[in-house]
Chain A
Amino acid sequence: MALVRQTSPHARGPNSTQQVMKLVLLAAVPGLAVQTVFFGWGTLINVVWCVMIALASEALILKIRKRPISFYLTDGTAMVTALLLAVALPPLAPWWLTLIGVSFAIIIGKQLYGGLGNNPFNPAMLGYVLLLISFPAEMTQWLPPSGIERHLPVNGFVDALSSIFPLFGQGVNVDVISMATPLDIVRENNSLTMTELWAENPALQSIGGKGWVWVNAAYLAGGLFLLYRKVFTWHAPVGMLAALFIMSTLFWGDGSASHGSPLFHLFSGATMLGAFFIITDPVSSATSTRGRLIFGACIGVLVYVIRAWGGYPDGIAFATLLMNMAAPMIDYYTQPRTYGHDKPKKGLPKTD
């Protein structure tokens, strides 16, 4: 009888990376569904296309790096990256835009740093920012959420597919039907008071803008599910949302200089997606709970700053990348005090 010899502990917790990633994907389903309902098939097509590119580029790099391919592909991290990038892209983003973004995210943003666990930046946001800077026109062509007009210009699956992949036929001209997002509308506004703006613009019907409220609510639900399943701790999301709330309350007003109400900021744009799915990426965020609270709060502040005074429609991506850079410093200053020690030891050991 061959008895197994291995090191303790012999008992193992239920956690595994695959399990975590599966839960993240599962929690994103409601948001994805709502987005599809409001913005059409394009979103779903994008997700599938992104996942395909992500898996292919990951496999390619793993092959070049001589790593076991199936072992790393099945951990699900590439899929999560692809999903996050896909839902952040405009629904009818052309195929090549997605290809560039996702392959950059996986190859440059993740694998070239050494693969999973070694990337200093959130790969999805890296890809997104690359596209936003390189192709600002394509990246701001959001469709109007359905419901504003009953007859959606792009509601058919074929239409959406052919818009993204011109190969499949003549798609719709996105330029014609696209419109600014509520965040854009509020930022661009410098003449109307908030009440007037809301009354005038059909896209701003509810607090966060038509459709966007529901998308955010769905992601919030998914995030709460992940919290319940202890996939991550509450620190980063709460830090970010609280900071965003405080910032928007401070600079709130009804005049034309206003940047929108706190609720508008919480339920518009990619706020909830960012708070629960993007900044909770463990690899590129701070490590300790205290650090994560700070990390989230700083992102919240930056998001508001970019939204209110910056030149881009949303600030989640930039804020996340900026704070990714600051994560090591946050870790450095939030080291816990070890049991039996008076104070935490920081930095490197002294060499003599």
Chain B
Amino acid sequence: MEIFLYAIAALLVLALVFGAILGFASVRFKVEGNPIVDQVNELLPQTQCGQCGFPGCRPYAEAIANGESINKCPPGGQTTINSLADLLDVEPEPLDAENGVEKPPMVAVIREDECIGCTKCIQACPVDAILGAAKQMHTVMADECTGCDLCVEPCPVDCIDMKAIEVTTRTWSWELPSKQSQADLIATDLRGENAA
């Protein structure tokens, strides 16, 4: 009986000591990690287009952190979904078509002779990429435009076009060979992957 008590006492003491050590360590070596919202926000394409149903990338990042599904970002496409899945350690899902389809990168262009200078698009632009003043012609800073097309709808004279950013000899690069020569070699395999 006595030995039984000793054992319990010893275990108790050990538990207390190790508990104290662990407690100390968790305070002393606390990792100030990036809050998950910031990490998610980093991965989003920052077009601020609102196609996900949230008024910008950060709100969507916050929603994801609170359990919103990760497949609602058409501008980011599958790449973003995959990296989000990677970060959050969940299964990547295909893009939710309800929010739109993946499109090549776009840029808004104002047909300047038709612009009446209403400033509506300026108010709509989430990244302040449109220059202009009331009754003055507006123009889009192509480098800053995220291609979110939020400015198209408010335009009363419909003078904003979304144009795909074209590949030039300066931006062109080779494609991975697997997309060309290997296609016929393991076509059956590719089909298998798509089905999965």
Binding site for B on A (CB under 8 A): 7, 65-68, 71
Contact = CB atoms under 8 A, between A and B. Distances in A.
A66 B185 contact: no
B35 interface: no
A7 B174 CA distance: 8
B194 interface: no
B174 A71 contact: no
Contact of A67 (B174, B177, B186): B186
A71 B185 contact: yes
B193 to A, nearest CB: 11
B174 A68 contact: no
Interface string B139-183: 000000000000000000000000000000000001001000000
A68 B192 contact: no
Tell me whether chain A's interface is mostly helix, strand or loop, or mixed: loop
A165 to B, nearest CB: 37
Contacts of A66: 188-189, 192
Contacts of B177: 7
8 contacts: A7-B174, A65-B189, A66-B188, A66-B189, A66-B192, A67-B189, A68-B186, A71-B185
Interface residues of B, number: 7
Interface of B: 174, 177, 185-186, 188-189, 192
A66 to B, nearest CB: 4
Tell me whether chain B's interface is mostly helix, strand or loop, or mixed: helix
Closest 5 CB pairs of A and B: A66-B188, A7-B174, A66-B189, A68-B185, A67-B186
A65 B191 CA distance: 12
Contacts of B192: 66
A65 B189 CA distance: 8
A7 B181 CA distance: 12
Nearest to B177: A7
A6 to B, nearest CB: 9
Contacts of B189: 65-67
A184 to B, nearest CB: 48
B129 to A, nearest CB: 30
Contacts of A65: 189
Contacts of B186: 67-68
A322 to B, nearest CB: 34
Could you say which of B177, B186, B192 has the most chain A C-beta atoms within 10 Å of its C-beta? Answer: B186
A103 B48 CA distance: 57
Nearest to A66: B188
Contacts of A68: 185-186
Nearest to B175: A7
A169 B186 CA distance: 46
Nearest to B188: A66
Nearest to A352: B34
A101 B189 CA distance: 29
A128 B192 CA distance: 34
A57 B174 CA distance: 38
A68 B188 CA distance: 9
A71 B185 CA distance: 9
A12 to B, nearest CB: 14
A7 to B, nearest CB: 6
Nearest to B181: A6
Nearest to B34: A352
A65 B188 CA distance: 9
Contacts of A7: 174, 177
Nearest to A8: B174
B183 to A, nearest CB: 13
Contacts of B188: 66-67
A71 B189 CA distance: 14
A65 B192 CA distance: 10
A237 B186 CA distance: 36
A71 B187 CA distance: 14
A66 B187 CA distance: 9
A71 B182 CA distance: 13
A7 B186 CA distance: 21
A228 B135 CA distance: 82
A217 B186 CA distance: 43
A16 to B, nearest CB: 16
A68 B177 CA distance: 18
Contacts of A67: 186, 188-189
A84 to B, nearest CB: 28
Contacts of A71: 185
B194 to A, nearest CB: 13
A137 B92 CA distance: 52
B148 to A, nearest CB: 29
Nearest to A71: B185
A68 B187 CA distance: 9
